[in-house]
Amino acid sequence: MPEEESEERAGKGETHVIRLKTPIRPPEYLDLVYGKVGKQKLGSVAAASPGGLAFEDPILLKSDGLPTYHLASVVDDHYMKITHVIRATEWMSSTPKHLVIYNAFGWNPPRFAHVGLLQDGRQNKLSKRDLSNVSLDLRKLQNEGIFPEALVNYVALYGWSHTSTSDFLPMEELINVFDLKFTKGNSVVMPEKLGFLQKKYAEKYVSEDGVMLKSMIQRVLAFAEQFLQEHPQVNDPKGKPLEERIANTLRQCKSDYRDPHQFYQSYFYFFKQLQAEDYLSTKAGSRRHLLAEIHNGERILRNGGKLLPLSIKNTIDHWMEPVLQRLNNLPGDKWNASLLQEVIKGILNDVEPHTKMLYSDWQKKNLDVQLFLRWALLAGWSGPSNSVAMEILGKETTLQRLVDASTVISE
């Protein structure tokens, strides 16, 4: 359209846009990932090429008077003093337009680096508008208790390769190792990597014993208190306060922390009083392999695919009295995993003559007694060692659970 006609129609109030007239050949630029970019001709020359129009005069102001992204982003980046623009490769075709706008204003452009897209397992582009993709639902991740530092670490791993020996990169280390040597091609997002980093940061925060540990304790405590409120028939064990038990469990089992809800579910037996159904349930699971099954009219512990030689009742008859007596004699201020382990070992040695006919060797007897204690203390669920579990539970709750387990079998 001739310039005179354009000005005349615009002056009459016809709806119109404002474009930036571009040069015949687009400006070349040095991309930090792909090197020199921008050899094709633009405008009328490009329109006449076999490939069609590769570049047109970009719209700066739309018909409603509002600026387009092309204009707004350039102006915004300039006044924010942006030195490096790092964005997806799908924006490479727009970069020459942006450079033309920078040149038109007489501004020095920033440096550009175009990186690959983030894709899901089906190699679909991730979209901020698709909230069904949990990898991008920040509110969901926040509600789940994902640590901000773990999320930053996770996101920062994509699109480049670092020289560190581990992907666990706390902020200070991430700043030190980061560079602009981005990889070409798209990256597939792996949610399991976030789970790995979440556990590593949990270990870090527990070891630091600071504000983040206190936050972890409070979030697990909220789940525990909610369960007790919703199940009034279930009591909180007497003895150590619930918050103290949660703190001790986090310290002992920090490598198993993924989020507060998962942690509560994995170690619920420390945070509520066990019921008869907990002891007698024969439902196995990924964290429960020790079951109290009925065989020939008696309850016998099954450890995976193997039955223990004695019934639970016979085990209680042989072991409960010396175990309760010895544990009861241990002072509360010495109730720790190390001494408790020695106490259990002493019980096994002291009653050797009494059980010589029942076991062929000490190791087998030790295993069977430890498995019985696992069932009595934690209803057969996986977790820390028996001595650590007794330290977390405290003396009063430990002794009460041994009595409760005996009562369940005798009823």
- CA–CA separation, 77 and 84 (whole Å): 9
3 state DSSP class of 375: helix
- CA–CA separation, 248 and 251 (whole Å): 5
DSSP 8-state symbol, 364: H
3 state DSSP class of 363: helix
Q: Which residues pair with 301 in a beta bridge?
A: 292
- CA–CA separation, 397 and 390 (whole Å): 8
Secondary structure (DSSP) of 202-221: HHHHHHHTSHHHHHHHHHHH
Q: How many CB atoms lie within 10 A of CB 358?
A: 14
Among 71, 52, 51, which residue's Cα sits nearest to residue 60? 71
DSSP 8-state symbol, 79: H
- 128, 200, 240, 364: which one is catalytic? 128
Cα-based distances in Å from 289 to 319, 377, 388: 22, 15, 19
Residue 240 is among the residues annotated as catalytic for this protein: no
Give the catalytic positions in this structure.
128
